[in-house]
Structures are given as structure tokens and as C-alpha cells.
Amino acid sequence: MSKYHNKSVLLEIRDLKIDGYADETWVPIIKGVDLTLRRGEVLGLIGESGAGKSTIGAAAMGYARDGTRISEGSIEFDGMELTTATSAEKRALRGSRIAYVAQSAAASFNPAHKLIDQHTEAPLHYRIKKRMEAQEDAMELYERLRLPNPTEIGFRYPHQVSGGQLQRAMTAMAMSCRPDLIIFDEPTTALDVTTQIEVLAAIRDIVDQFDTAAIYITHDLAVVAQMADTIKVLLKGEEVEHASTEKMLDAPEEDYTKSLWAVRSFKRPQKSRPEDDSRPVISVQGVDAAYTGGAKVLDDISFEIYPGMTVAVVGESGSGKSTAARVITGLLPPMSGEVLCRGEALPPRYQDRTRDQLRQAQMIYQMADTALNPKSRISDIIGRPAQFYSGLKGQGLKQRVDELLDLIELDPAKFYNRFPPELSGGQKQRIGIARALAAEPEFIICDEVTSALDQLVAEGILKLLDRLQQELGLAYMFITHDLATVRSIADEVVVMQNGKVVEQGAKEEMFTPPHHPYTDLLLSSVPEMDPNWLTTLLEERGVDNIGEAASV
Amino acid sequence: MSMFVIGYYAALITASCIAAYFQNRKAFMLLFSLTLVSFVLGIVGGVPALRGVTIFAGILALAAGTSYAFREFLIQVCSPAIAKELRTAPLTAAFGMFVIFTYAIAGIFAPWIAPFDQSEVIASAFEPPNEDMLLGADQLGRDMFSRIIFGARNSVGLALVATVLAFVIGALAGLYSAVKGGWLDQLSGRVADVIMSVPSLIFALLILSIFGTNLWVIVVVVAIIYSPRVFRLTRAVAGNVVVMDYVEAARLRGEGDWHLIRKEILPNSTAPLIAEFGLEFCFVFLLIAGLSFLGLGIQPPTADWGSMVRENATLISFGDITPLIPAAAIALLTVAVNFVVDWMLFRSSGLKEQ
């Protein structure tokens, strides 16, 4: 904090209270938060989903989202009180003096206009620059953000550039009027680790260069450690702790903060393949696959999953991880190669498989929201597979559902008759696990099961999966891009890139050098809790080629 | 100046003051601007104009009061889950429900409510209203009121059956297309295009002149004309549901198409379908009324609002409003159904959940 002590205060929020409208009453979301931001300072806001991070971020622009209202407190931006300002006054600030970078750049750009036209919109609107001037400035910003072909890329449409580039273009756009404050709302959450780095580096440089103040909202501690000067931890609309980044990392005071820090500590011993000649549960052999009319998505994929083992499949998005899962489940028949289950070849299409073959391989999905039918009761969701495969009825079925709910540590009396929308994200994911277990499978595909969850909740899910594996002897295929998860739960790792298996083997081997260059890239891209990690990494890789390395 | 005018202005100004005192801005603006408008209206139109305003306001207040009471009644009568939804219903929707409820009662209990039979000749042609006949007699001397009541049963009943049939055909085809995809989807899509490309009234006239004006022919023809719209909506809504992970999970479990449709997709697409049902019902109703008006719909002597308009149309030239009464009955029902549908559309658009 000391670095900015002599600078003037840019944003001052005092005792902010925000209400949200739910069930026909106003309930408090933010319960009195204070915040001071000086010029050039970067503040990290962290907390679980629902902690009110984004709501505070929006409030810093004097904006209350639909269904929320600022009920009390003051928001003072550079001497101007935003809670009482007229909407015209606030509008004049937004875009020119306060800018916002949203989580999903792909959803935030208008697909019908070229990047540069959207970029120059604000400067033209506020009569800050002429069009040609603004375009030149845009190209300069693109260059500073290390976008490839800075003079040309602006004339593309949003769908013609990659996700990481789009996120950087959006940061450039936020910079177009040289604002005093930028609010970054989870700008890298939707990106792969490798792409995340280029965006992080770009954001940090540009914020430094223009001495812009920023509020950086994220749930990833390691990321915030790279970006922020001070960190504020939020829990359920209240501030838990506020300190400088170094202090927060070295000596957190509150228990909640400590528990956030400790999350990545879950690790279980690695198991090795069974010594006897038992056959693998699932064996994928030389599989090629493509979607109709497209190029090959999978190219000669082979790996094996033995009973009771966890095989993690890692890679960037687009590397074919999920496609491999679709081939195993039979949703996408392979062009060549086959999938064996305990030595028997499975029919390529799921429609041709027998009920028992279908039962063997169950799936747990990434988005628990879309994985559970919102109009079915929990008892039906879990009960249906039990009824379908085992033919249970009446009392027997009810008992089985109770048993499964106990297994996933949810109280049957409380959850039996409820509907999915009434549950929290972690509870929904547990129901998804119970549905898979109800079929009594030997093998479960976990497709990014923890990536949509908060870290504490995710850890709970990982521990549950681990316990179930020990009790029921399940084999998991764990699809993920998060190497921290791999480190904690996997026995074997399969690294995929561009539809090919780059490297595979036992976890310990994979995490000790020498690696395949791609594995190395993936591993070194995982943010660490050290605040100097990004700086060191950039020095190692060389500033100029990080974009290159990531977009390979 | 008559007492009425003095009372009129006194009431308006008092009400404005009360609204202003309680800081009810909207009510105050409404009342006071009405007062100002009334000054001009009173000068131009005199006492009758003011009386008209009073009667109009009275009717509006009565309708609002009835709707409010009816909503409270429904909330008391229905189960807690439905009652919670009903609480969110605006007065217009409650009014719509009340009108639909009244029509339903009239239709179901027609023989008991109507004083005469629909085809019973009891007076001379076009006899004006008297204490026996509430609305006078039609061109053959039948009681107009009784025929309106019976018309509720015939016209509304027929429209309801046709709409339900259109929905069964359209929704089933739409759901199967969404689940199956491939050639079945293409085929039903193109069939729907073909049906939609023929103007509906001309198509109906064509078929009815071939097969004759049998009640069942009308129902089937109307159902076929309207099923493509239902098909397209259902296909679109179900298309969004089919890609959900829970449908994939059910497919991988080995569930049949019928289970997918019934348990996974239909429960998640009912809201827009119900809203569409209300809308389609109005269109079907108007089409059948139009066919009856042209003489190809429900055949005499069966009472039907559409044909009643036509039969009494000659009276229009004499400045009599009798032929407008069945037309008004059609209009009121259409408006009422749309009020309810608007509310349902609003709910299903997800605005409530935010």
C-alpha cells in the first residue's frame, strides 16, 4: 500500500450496501463494504461465487444490475458521488473514465462489427479523437498488448481471432480513452492456462504503462497474486480481510483466508497398475475421429484405464479431450480404431450397445446446471438409473436412493423431494455423481467436474470422488485443463494436443523433468502463489515469444 | 350547472388532492390530467360527455374490482404452489381468467342458463328486446340471448377441440423431429412449409367444399392448418432442450425416445407451449368464426357467433347493434385469452426468475 500512499484517492466506497430482489422481498447481497483505491493501484477482489465480487465491481461504476439496488453507502469517484449522480452524468464517466472488461470477450463483442470499429466507438463518441487518430491509437495499443499483426488484426471480425486475442483486444478497447479506472471481471477465467498467461502479462503491462487504477475480480488466488497490489477477501457480501499482496500471501490472519490458501494442499498417494494380468476397464486403441465433414479431431489415440485407477486427460481446449470421451460413450462413432471394455470391443454407436454395456461407463458433466433436468425431483434423477438398470421398484428403489444420497453426503430427508434449481453448485455436482453411481458402473468419465466450482467446494468434490473410488473400486477418466486437480487426484496422466496423445505415463513421472515440450509449457503455465511468478516466467520464456508459444 | 357536473368535478379534485397528499405520483397525474381534460370535454360535449366518462370509469373500476376479487378467490381456492404464481398475476390477467371462467360456465351449463332452445322460434323476426328476450330476436324470431349462450358452447368448444388437436399433431411432430433429427426432421419440416405456404382461409374453403361442412372435417382441417405453427415452435424450443447434458445423459442410459420426450424435454418446454396454446386458440377461434360467417363453418340451426353476425348483418344498415353482440363476444374472449397469455409469456420469458 505504501507505494501509492502519496497518490490521490480515485475511488472511495464507504459502507456500501446492495440489495437483491428475490422471492418478492429485498435481501442484502453486500452488507457494508469499504474500499479505497488510489491512482495507479490495482486491487484484487477475491471470494467464492455469490460473495458479491462482481456486484461491487459494477457498483464502482455506479451501476446496479437488474434486480439489485444500492440501498446505502456512498461511492465517490474522483470527487463525484455516484449514488446520487444522474444517469447522464454516470454515462459520461463510463467508457471514458471508467472502463469494464468482462469475463467472456466472445460474448461481449458485437459479432457484426470489426474489432477496430468497436474499439474506436468510445473515443469517437466522446469526441476525444478523430477516427483515423483513434485507429492509429488502437493499432499502437494492439502492439503494446502484443497482438500479432497489430496493424491488420483490428480489421477482423470477433470470430476470426482466438479467445485469448479477443480478451486482449477487449483490454485494448477498455484502454481506448485512457480511463482512470478499469474493472476486470474474471478476464481469464474462461481461458486455458497457456492463453491465460499472455492475457495476464498484457493486462499487467498496460496497467503499469498508463498508470491506470484497476479492480481485478477473480476467484483464483494465484492469478490475483500476480496482478494486485492489495487484496480484499470477500465472503457472503462482507469483507473478511484486506492487506497488501505480500502480507496476505505470507501471513493471512483470518481462518477463512487461510482455508482458501490451503485448498491446493489435497493430495493423495499415487496408485500403480495392478500387478496381476487383469484387463483394463477401458482401452482406447488407435482411434481416429472427426465431426461430420470436418477435419480429424482425434488422430490415432490410444490409452488404457485399469480398474480402480484415475487417469487424467489434460490439454488445452480444442485438444480433443472431450471428443475422446464422446468416442468412449459412443456419441461419436470413430472413423477407425476401437474401444474395448474389459477386452471386449464395444459397438461404436451407443444405440447399438446393450443396456449392460451402457451401464459400465457413466459420465459426470462440467456444468451441473445443464446436467440435471430442472423439472425432475432429486429422487427421480437418482432413482431413474437404478430403476432402469436394476429394475428396482417402490420401497427398494426408495431405499437405494437414500443409500446413494448418504453416499454423496447429502441428507436424504432434506433432499429427496427437491428440485435441482433449489441446490447450490456443489450440491448439484454431488447429485450428478449420485446419478452416475446409481447405475453401479465400473468406470466414470469426469468431464471438467470441478472447473465450474469454487475452490473449497471443488476440493470437497475431489475428496468425495477419491473416497468413492476407494470404497467402490471405480476407475475414473478425469478430463481437465487444471493441473492442480491432476496433481491431487490422478494416478496416470495423458497429455493431449491437437487431437494427438503427446505424452502419457504415471503421474510422478509426468511431473518430474524431462518433459515433452508441450507438457512443459502446460506445467509451467499454471499460476503459482508466488507474486513474482509471472515476472520470472516471462523472463525465462522471453517476452516476445509468449504469445507465440501460447497460440501454437 | 347541474348537480351532476358539480359533483363530478368535486369528486375528481378531491381524489387528486388525496393522491397528492399521499404522494402517489402516478394516481395524482392520472386524476388531475383527467380533471383538466374534463374542463375541455365539458365545454365541448356538455353533460352527456361527462356522463360518458363517468360510466366508462365506472365500468373500468368494476372490471378492476371484479378481477381483484377473482384473483383473491383463486389464490384462496388453489394449492399453495399455484397460489404463489397467481399472486404475481397482474389485474389484466385476472380479468382474462374471469372472462374465460364466465364463458366456460356459460358453455358448460348452456341448456340450464339459456331460457329458450337455440333453434326455438318464439317471436317474430327482429323483435326488439322485451322482458322475455334480453337481447331481442334474430332474423327468424329466435331468442338472441339463448343463442349467444349456446354459441359459447358451440364456437368455443369447437375451437378448443381443433386447437388441442393442432397441438397434439404439431407438438408430437416437433418433439420427435427434435429428438430424432435426420430425415424425419427434414420431412416434417418440409411438410410444414408446404401447409404454411397455402393461405389458411383459402385452404380451409377448398377442403370444406370438397369434403362438405361436417363438424369433424372442420376440426381436422383447422387442426392441420394450425399444426405447422405449433410444430415450428415446439421444434425450436425442444431443439434448445435436446442439446442439454441431461438429455445426453438419458440417451447414454439407453432411454427410448418416448421417455426422452415425456420426462426430459416436455417438462422443460411447457411454458412457451402453454402461452402459444392461448394465442393459437384465438387464431383458431377467429378462423372458425370467419368460416361460419362465410357459411362454410358450423351449419344452421346450430348457434354460432360467426354465423350469427352474418345472419343479422342486415340490421347494421338500420343502426341496430344486435349483430355486433356476437362479434363483441368473440372480441372479448380473444382479448381475455390474450391477457392471460401475455402474463404467461412474461413468466416463461424468465424475467421473473432474475
A303-319 confidence digits (pLDDT tens): 888 888 889 998 877 78
Per-residue pLDDT tens for B252-293?
888 888 999 988 898 888 888 888 888 888 889 888 888 888
Q: Is B332 left (phi over 0), alpha (psi -120 to 50) or beta?
A: alpha
Residues A532 and A479 in one domain: no
What's the domain count of chain A?
A: 3
Given this model, what pLDDT does residue A241 score? 84
**Measured at the alpha carbon of residue B210, what is the angle toward residues B205 and B214, in degrees to the nearest 5?**
80
Taking an 8 Å cut-off on Cβ atoms, the answer to whether B252 and A329 are in contact is yes
Residues B246, A371: C-beta atoms closer than 8 Å: yes
pLDDT over threshold 50, residue A439: yes
Measure Cα distances from A286 to A11, A300, A342, A493 in Å.
59, 4, 17, 18
The answer to whether residue A186 scores a pLDDT higher than 60 is yes
- pLDDT value at residue A550: 39
Q: What is the DSSP letter of A55?
A: H
Chain A nearest-CA distance from B2, in A, is 48
Q: Do A164 and A16 reside in the same domain of the chain? A: no
Q: What is the structure's pLDDT at A3? A: 60
Confidence of residue B177 (pLDDT cuts 50, 70, 90): very high
Closest by CA to A521, choosing from A529, A513, A530, A532, is: A513
Minimum Cα–Cα distance from A439: chain B residue: B253
* Residue A222 within any structural domain of the chain: no
- Tell me whether residue A13 is in a domain: yes
- Per cent of chain A over pLDDT 90 is 2
Looking at the complex, does the CB of residue A372 fall below 8 Å from at least one CB of chain B? yes
pLDDT of residue A544: 52
Which residue do the cell numbers 497429455 mark?
A495
Same-domain check for residues A245 and A314? no
pLDDT band at B349 (very low <50, low <70, confident <90, very high): low
Q: Which strands, in side-by-side order, build the sheet including A181-185?
A: A98-101, A181-185, A213-218, A42-46, A230-235, A238-244
Task: Evaluate whether residue A39 is within a structural domain.
Answer: yes
Residues A365 and A488 in one domain: yes
Q: Which of A378, A44, A80 is nearest to A239 (CA)?
A: A44
Mutate to test the interface with A, among B242, B246, B251 (most CBs of A within 10 A): B246
d(CA A75, CA A427): 36
Q: Does residue A521 share a domain with residue A472?
A: no
Say what the pLDDT of residue A549 is: 40
pLDDT tens column, A472-488: 888 999 888 777 788 88
Q: Which fold has domain B115-348?
A: MetI-like fold (1.10.3720)
Question: Could you read off the pLDDT of B189-201 as tens digits, one per residue?
Answer: 999 999 999 998 8
Which among A67, A358, A374 has CB closest to B268? A374
Residues A115 and A88 in one domain: no
Question: B327 pLDDT exceeds 60?
Answer: yes
Chain B residues touching residue A361 (CB < 8 angstroms): 252
**Is residue B113 scored above 90 in pLDDT?**
no
Write down the mean pLDDT value for chain A: 83
Contact between B245 and A367 using a beta-carbon 8 Å cutoff: yes
**pLDDT tens, position by position, A273-297:** 777 667 888 888 888 888 877 778 8
Say which residue the cell 376440426 belongs to. B219
Cis status of the peptide bond prior to A280, with omega within 30 of 0:
no
pLDDT of res. A552: 32
Quick: pLDDT tens for B220-245: 999 999 999 999 999 999 998 988 88
Cβ-Cβ contacts under 8 Å, A358 against chain B:
252-254
Buried b (16+ CB within 10 A) or exposed e, A128-159: ebeeeebbebbbebbebbbbeebeebbeeebe
pLDDT of A372-408, one tens digit each?
A: 988 888 888 988 998 888 888 888 888 889 988 988 8
Three cell numbers written together for B290? 370467419
The answer to whether residues B204 and B226 touch, using CB atoms and an 8 Å cutoff, is no
Q: What is the mean pLDDT of residues A356-369?
A: 86
Decide if A171 contacts A103 (C-beta within 8 A). no
Residues of chain B with pLDDT > 70, as a percent, come to 98
Whether residue A257 contacts residue A248, with contact meaning beta carbons closer than 8 Å, is answered with yes
* Residue A276 counted as domain residue: no
Q: Name the residue in chain A with its Cα closest to that of B257.
A: A351
Task: Give B246's contacts in chain A (Cβ within 8 Å).
Answer: 370-373
Regarding whether A370 and A435 lie in a shared domain, the answer is yes
Q: Average pLDDT in the A104-115 region?
A: 84
Which is nearest to A422 in space by CA: A388, A381, A386?
A: A381
Question: Across the interface, do B246 and A372 touch by the CB < 8 Å criterion?
Answer: yes
pLDDT score recorded for residue A262:
66
Does residue A391 belong to the interface with chain B, where contact is any CB pair within 8 Å?
A: no
% of chain B at pLDDT higher than 90: 27
Whether residue A375 lies within 8 A of chain B, CB to CB, comes out as: yes
Average confidence (pLDDT) over B325-331: 88
Label residue A551 by pLDDT band (50, 70, 90).
very low
Residue range B336-351: mean pLDDT, rounded: 78
Measured CA to CA, the distance from residue A474 to residue A469 in angstroms comes to: 5
Q: Is B253's CB within 8 Å of A388's CB?
A: yes
Kindly state whether B84 is in contact with chain A, defined as any CB-CB distance less than 8 angstroms. no
Nearest CB neighbour to A355, from listed B254, B263, B354: B254
Q: Using a CB-CB distance cutoff of 8 angstroms, which residues of chain B are in contact with residue A386?
A: none
Contact A220, A260 (CB under 8 A): no
- Between A260-269, A420-429, B316-325, the lowest mean confidence (pLDDT) is in A260-269
A373–B267 C-beta distance less than 8 A: yes
- Sequence-distant (6+) residues with CB within 8 A of B75 are B83, B86, B87
- Chain A within 8 Å of B268 (Cβ-Cβ)? yes
* CATH code of the domain containing A286: 3.40.50.300
pLDDT mean across residues, chain B: 87
Length of chain A: 552
**Shortest Cα distance from A243 to chain B (angstroms)?**
34
pLDDT in tens, A514-547: 778 888 888 878 777 777 778 777 777 765 544 4
B155-166: average pLDDT: 91
What is the pLDDT, as a whole number, of residue B192?
Answer: 93
State whether A370 and B253 contact (CB < 8 Å): no
List all residues 6 or more positions away from A301 whose beta carbon is below 8 Å from its beta carbon: A284, A286, A287, A288, A320, A324, A327, A337, A496, A499, A500, A501
Q: What is the pLDDT of residues A42-101, one digit of tens each?
A: 888 888 777 778 888 888 888 887 778 888 888 888 888 888 888 888 888 887 888 888
What pLDDT digit, counting tens, does each position of A223-236 carry?
888 888 888 888 88
Q: Which residue of B has its CA nearest to A330?
A: B252
Looking at the predicted structure, is the pLDDT value of residue B350 above 60? Answer: no
Residues 47-66 of B with CB under 8 A from A: none
Domain-embedded: residue A77:
yes
**d(C-alpha B131, C-alpha B62), whole Å:** 25
User: In terms of domains, do A420 and A371 share one?
Assistant: yes
CA distance B120 to B182: 57
**B52 pLDDT above the threshold of 60:** yes
B267 in contact with chain A, both atoms CB, cutoff 8 A? yes
B26 close to A (CB below 8 A): no
Same domain, A18 and A139: no
Q: pLDDT at position A230, please?
A: 87
B35-47: burial string, b at 16+ Cβ within 10 Å, e else: beebeeebeeeee
Closest chain A residue by Cα to residue B265: A373
Confidence class of residue B353 from pLDDT cuts 50, 70 and 90? very low
Residue with cell 343463442: B147
Q: A-chain residues within 8 Å CB-CB of B352?
A: none
Q: How far is A373 from chain B (nearest CA, A)?
A: 6
Under a CB-based contact definition with an 8 Å cutoff, are residues B154 and B284 in contact?
Answer: no
- For A152-169, the pLDDT digits (tens) are 888 888 888 877 788 888
In this structure, are A349 and A482 located in the same domain?
Answer: yes
Helical pair A378-390 and A394-407, crossing angle rounded to 10 deg: 120
Query: Chain A within 8 Å of B199 (Cβ-Cβ)?
Result: no
The answer to whether residues A242 and A357 belong to one domain is no
Question: How many interchain CB pairs under 8 A, A with B?
Answer: 55
A357–chain B nearest CA distance, Å: 10
Q: Is the pLDDT of residue A13 over 70?
A: yes
B263·A331 Cβ contact <8 A: no
C-alpha–C-alpha distance, residues A12 and A340, integer Å: 62
Whole-angstrom distance, CA of residue A64 vs CA of residue B224: 49
Residues of A in contact with B248 (CB under 8 A): 331, 363
ipTM score: 0.76
Q: Tell me which chain A residues have a C-beta less than 8 angstroms from the C-beta of B252.
A: 329-331, 350, 358, 361-363
Put simply, whether A277 touches B (Cβ < 8 Å) is: no
Locate the chain A residue with the closest alpha carbon to B87.
A24
Q: A57: domain range?
A: 1-94+229-262
pLDDT on residue B42: 85
A221 interface with B at CB cutoff 8 Å: no
Residue A236 and residue A204 in one domain: no
User: Tens digit of pLDDT for each residue in B143-153?
Assistant: 888 888 998 88
